[in-house]
Amino acid sequence: MAASLGGRQNHRDRRTGRSLRLRLAATCLNALLLSGCSGAQSALDPAGRGAERIAALFWWMAGGAAIVWLIVIGLALYALRGRRKPHDRRKTALFIIGGGVAFPTLTLAGLLSYGLAMMPELIAPAPDGSLTIRVSGERWWWRFEYEGPEGSFETANELRLPVDQPVQFILSSPDVIHAFWIPVLGPKIDMIPGRENRLALHPTRTGAFRGVCAEYCGASHALMGFDVFVVQPEAFEDWRRSQLQSARSPEPDTAAAAGERFFLQNGCAACHSVRGTPADGLVGPDLTHLASRKTIGASLLPNEPENLRRFLIDPEGVKPGVVMPHFKMLPDSELDALVAYLASLE
Ligand code: CUA
């Protein structure tokens, strides 16, 4: 009696264990599938016209593939379980020609035509007069130059775009090949030294998104991202006007003012520009409005004083292969002042 009760208990435990494992597996699968379909960097969660077309293409392809897979598995099961009887040669030949030649040709031709038909729209340039941004892929960060009737300005690693307006990108690179890709907005395009490639994007909803480099380009390829903020046109205009301004001079006798002096003395100005000061270097990112950016190091670290300090002391440790030299020889007080200056560049 006791043995039989124990046996029943074991059986129930095994059943509970199995259903728990099944539920856990289902939850994991769900999380995996959902996380792949949404987020700031998902091509399946489109926020731009090009990406909407590409996501639709993906779902049609995935749906088509699933139907073909189901048919093939169904036929395989039928063949395994069906009654064995002599084949009718004519029926077999028809089945092979129909299922092996006609069906795949028609299905693939249909999907191919659907895919090709959207190409002209994906590669069409933006209308004349659209917002134009020149992009240069650097090692390993992004140089963005906004062109406009009121003048151009340069920024780095952060794009701001107005919603519901086309944007024309003109892309190149000074040394190695990169690829510019904002998965939520549209297709990607290579950035090739000595050549200008063009890409038009058209954001359809506001939000904070992320772009990446999609072509292996060296040690920090995987650390070469950028932030993309799609905002209302009025907010974009405000931002554009503030970016056109020169940097605000720090208040006299503050840590930031001392930092500006050290910045100009220590050679920072040879590589970085801060508009409105003698710093006009072109090697590294323009720092005129560094403090207005959400991240530093090409979408790598939150833009906070301790991270700015980390970058000054050990840029190679933060981003392997970076061109910037370290400044760990500077006394703490100078580093603090430099960080205060950088943090004041709003
Ligand atoms: Cu730049 Cu990969």
User: For ligand 1, what atom is nearest to the CA of residue 139?
Assistant: 1
CB of 137 within 6 A of ligand 1: the answer is: yes
Distance CA(252)–CA(265), nearest Å, equals 17
CB of 139 within 6 A of ligand 1: the answer is: no
- The percentage of residues in the chain with a pLDDT greater than 90, rounded to a whole number, is 75
Distance 224 CA to ligand 1 centre (A): 6
CB of 334 within 6 A of ligand 1: the answer is: no
The 10s digit of each residue's pLDDT in 221-230 is 999 999 999 9
What local confidence, expressed as pLDDT, does residue 2 receive? 46
What local confidence, expressed as pLDDT, does residue 36 receive? 60
CB of 215 within 6 A of ligand 1: the answer is: yes
CB of 221 within 6 A of ligand 1: the answer is: yes
CB of 49 within 6 A of ligand 1: the answer is: no
pLDDT classification of 84: cutoffs 50, 70, 90: confident
How far lies 189's CA from each of 159, 283, 321, in Å?
A: 17, 24, 24
CB of 286 within 6 A of ligand 1: the answer is: no
Average pLDDT over residues 250-256: 94
The mean-pLDDT minimum among 21-35, 127-141, 254-268, 285-299 falls in 21-35
What local confidence, expressed as pLDDT, does residue 322 receive? 92
User: For ligand 1, what atom is nearest to the CA of residue 191?
Assistant: 1
Distance 146 CA to ligand 1 centre (A): 21
CB of 298 closer than 8 Å to CB of 223: yes
The 10s digit of each residue's pLDDT in 122-179 is 999 999 999 999 999 999 999 999 998 888 999 999 999 999 999 999 999 999 999 9
CB of 178 within 6 A of ligand 1: the answer is: yes
The 10s digit of each residue's pLDDT in 178-209 is 999 999 999 999 999 999 999 999 999 999 99
Distance CA(236)–CA(218), nearest Å, equals 33
Write down the mean pLDDT value for the chain: 90
What local confidence, expressed as pLDDT, does residue 1 receive? 44
The 10s digit of each residue's pLDDT in 14-52 is 555 666 666 666 665 665 555 567 889 999 999 999 999
pLDDT of 298 above 60: yes
pLDDT classification of 215: cutoffs 50, 70, 90: very high
User: For ligand 1, what atom is nearest to the CA of residue 176?
Assistant: 1
What local confidence, expressed as pLDDT, does residue 113 receive? 93
pLDDT classification of 310: cutoffs 50, 70, 90: very high
CB of 140 within 6 A of ligand 1: the answer is: yes
